[in-house]
Structure 1
Amino acid sequence: MADDWLKRWHEGRIGFHRDHPHPALIRHWPALKVRAGTKVLVPLCGKSLDMRWLANRDYPVLGIELAETAIEQFVAEGRGDVTRYHQDGFDVCRQGNLELWCGDFFHFHIDQAAEIGAFYDRAALIALPEATRQRYAFHLAQLMPPGARGLLISLTRDPGGPPYSVDADEVHALFDPNFRVTHLEDGEPEANGFRECVWALERRGPLT
Structure 2
Amino acid sequence: MEASFWHEKWERGEINFHQSEANPLLTEHFEKLNLVKDSRVFLPLCGKTRDIAWLLAGGYRVAGAELSEHAINDLFKELGLDPKISKIGNLTRYSAKDIDIFVGDIFDVSAEHLGPTNAIYDRAALVALPSDTRAQYASHLIKITGAAPQLLISYEYNQQLIDGPPFSVNEDEVKQHYGATYQVKSVESRNVAGGLKGKVASTETVWLLQKKQ
- TM-score, scaled to structure 1: 0.93
Q: Given the alignment of the two structures, is residue 34 of structure 1 paired with residue 24 of structure 2, yes or no?
A: no
Q: Distance in 1 between matches of 2:114 and 2:53?
A: 20
Q: Given the alignment of the two structures, is residue 88 of structure 1 paired with residue 96 of structure 2, yes or no?
A: no
Q: How many residues align?
A: 204
User: Contact (CA 8 Å) 2:33, 2:119: kept in 1 or not?
Assistant: no
Cα distance per residue 1:160-184 (max 9 Å; x no partner): 1111000111111111011111110
**Poorly superposed stretches of 4+, deviation over 4 Å:** none
Letter in 1 for 2:124: A
Letter in 2 for 1:163: P
Q: Distance in 2 between matches of 1:14 and 1:95?
A: 25
User: Contact (CA 8 Å) 1:144, 1:203: kept in 2 or not?
Assistant: no
2:62 aligns with 61
Cα distance per residue 1:41-78 (max 9 Å; x no partner): 11000001111111111211111000111001111111
Q: Give 5+ residue unaligned stretches, structure 1.
A: none
1:202 aligns with 210
2:133 aligns with 132
- Residues 4-153 of structure 1 aligned to structure 2 (within 5 Å): 4-145=5-146, 148-153=148-153
2:198 aligns with none
User: Contact (CA 8 Å) 1:145, 1:203: kept in 2 or not?
Assistant: no
Q: Distance in 2 between matches of 1:158 and 1:46?
A: 26
1:167 aligns with 170
Q: 1:113 to 1:203 in 2, by over 3 A?
A: farther
1:154 is paired with a residue whose SS is strand
2:93 is paired with a residue whose SS is strand
User: Contact (CA 8 Å) 2:94, 2:102: kept in 1 or not?
Assistant: yes
**CA RMSD, 1 decimal:** 1.4
1:77 is paired with a residue whose SS is helix
- TM-score, scaled to structure 2: 0.91
Cα distance per residue 1:3-30 (max 9 Å; x no partner): 1111111111100000000001111111
Q: Distance in 2 between matches of 1:190 and 1:79?
A: 32
User: Contact (CA 8 Å) 2:154, 2:170: kept in 1 or not?
Assistant: yes
1:119 is paired with a residue whose SS is strand
Identity %: 34
